């Protein structure tokens, strides 16, 4: 959460930057002090403190302070530890699982509720209006895009996963206002991701970016109609390590899918899901009596 605030400073107004530096200087005190004292210490107005919290993706001061307190006070009982060449299988099991749990807990505390709320609203509105929802990803992110399509189309939503860079360009070119483009990129530096985001932006589609904070892809998400869901896992490019980023990206998709499913008409969704399960059961092999 503090890393995200630090990389967001250049995009903030000068007054909001003073609030950001106050948070970074003493996050524990910021989480505990009333808004009036925070404003005095940062030499800004009370509304500026609240505006800063919303600018970095939270619903308001209360939401920001709750997440901040969780980050600095709760502590995470799992440490991220690199897997070494001399590790035995038992050590690898512990490290891989502990690393995944540590990052999931960190993301739980750092996730920007306001950004998720905007993304869920956009997806639910597109689903209700029968608009297109396109998930774009290449490489490892392609698997996340395909998982997103698998989850969303079961909700009766017009969703597609586009993982070929040429088809992505064609798909984004055909987007219209009201459609939603979800661009997934761990590094946020992929030319394919940046290009397709720019095309979707020009077409006035709602753009949801799932990527690393401070990346070129993330820095382009300042205009209206663009929503940034940041994911910042520790990855060591010099050594093989489990793809914690993919787990976190899949988690983001699960949160979005669950929230959109809860907004779909239950009278329509439940019978459809039950019929899907029934038809899938009919395709399972049944043991013979012989």
Q: In terms of DSSP H, where are the helices of the chain?
A: 2-8, 14-25, 27-32, 35-42, 46-55, 61-69, 89-110, 113-128, 140-153, 165-173, 191-202, 216-219, 244-263, 266-281
Q: Is the predicted pLDDT of residue 141 greater than 50, yes or no?
A: yes
Q: What is the pLDDT of residues 172-216, one digit of tens each?
A: 999 999 999 999 999 899 999 999 999 999 999 999 999 998 889
Provide the pLDDT confidence category of residue 20 given band limits of 50, 70 and 90.
very high
DSSP 8-state class, residue 179? B
Provide the pLDDT confidence category of residue 7 given band limits of 50, 70 and 90.
confident
CATH number of 113-275: 3.40.50.10490
- Is 42:17 a contact under the CB 8 Å cutoff? no
Query: Which pLDDT value is given to residue 222?
Result: 67
List the single range of 97-101, 144-148, 181-185, 244-248 with lowest mean pLDDT: 97-101
Q: What is the pLDDT of residues 29-58, one digit of tens each?
A: 898 889 999 999 999 999 999 999 988 888
Mean pLDDT of 217-236: 79
Residue 109, Cβ density class (10 Å: 0-12 exposed, 13-18 middle, ≥19 buried)? middle
Instruction: Count CB atoms within 10 A of the CB of residue 73.
Output: 12
Residue 14, Cβ density class (10 Å: 0-12 exposed, 13-18 middle, ≥19 buried)? exposed
pTM for the whole thing? 0.71
The topology (CATH level 3) of 1-74 is Arc Repressor Mutant, subunit A (1.10.10)
Q: Which residues 6+ apart lie within 8 Å of 96 measured at CB?
A: 83, 242
The answer to whether 1-74 and 113-275 have equal CATH topology is no
Domain parsing of the chain, residue ranges: 1-74, 113-275
Measured in Å, how far apart are the chain's first and last C-alpha atoms?
A: 60
Residue 275, Cβ density class (10 Å: 0-12 exposed, 13-18 middle, ≥19 buried)? exposed
Provide the pLDDT confidence category of residue 286 given band limits of 50, 70 and 90.
low
List the single range of 32-46, 126-140, 236-250 with lowest mean pLDDT: 236-250
Query: Which pLDDT value is given to residue 76?
Result: 47
Q: What is the pLDDT of residues 60-113, one digit of tens each?
A: 898 888 888 777 655 545 455 667 778 788 878 877 888 888 888 888 877 878
């Amino acid at each position: 959460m503090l890393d995200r605030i630090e990389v967001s400073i250049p995009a903030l107004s000068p007054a909001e930057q003073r609030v950001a530096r106050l948070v970074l200087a003493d996050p524990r005190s910021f989480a505990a002090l009333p808004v009036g004292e925070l404003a005095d210490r940062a030499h800004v107005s009370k509304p500026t403190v609240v505006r800063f919290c919303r600018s970095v993706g939270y619903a308001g001061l209360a939401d920001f302070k709750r997440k901040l307190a969780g980050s600095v006070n709760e502590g995470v009982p799992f440490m991220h530890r690199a897997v070494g060449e001399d590790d035995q299988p038992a050590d690898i099991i512990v490290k891989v699982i502990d690393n995944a749990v540590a990052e999931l807990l960190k993301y739980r505390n750092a996730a920007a509720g306001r950004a998720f709320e905007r993304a869920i609203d956009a997806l639910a509105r597109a689903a209700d209006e029968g608009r297109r929802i396109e998930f774009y990803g290449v490489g490892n992110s392609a698997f996340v895009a395909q998982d997103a399509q698998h989850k969303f189309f079961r909700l009766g939503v017009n969703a597609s996963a586009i993982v070929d860079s040429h088809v992505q360009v064609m798909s984004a070119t055909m987007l219209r206002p009201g459609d939603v483009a979800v661009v997934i990129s761990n590094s946020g530096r992929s030319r394919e991701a940046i290009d397709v985001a720019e095309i979707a932006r020009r077409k006035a589609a709602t753009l949801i970016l799932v990527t690393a904070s401070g990346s070129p892809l993330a820095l382009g998400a300042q205009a209206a109609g663009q929503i940034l869901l940041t994911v910042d896992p520790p990855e060591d490019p010099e050594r093989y390590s489990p793809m914690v980023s993919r787990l976190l990206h899949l988690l983001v998709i699960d949160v979005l899918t669950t929230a959109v499913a809860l907004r779909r008409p239950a009278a329509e969704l439940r019978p459809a899901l039950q019929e899907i399960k029934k038809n899938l059961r009919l395709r399972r092999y049944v043991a013979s009596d012989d």
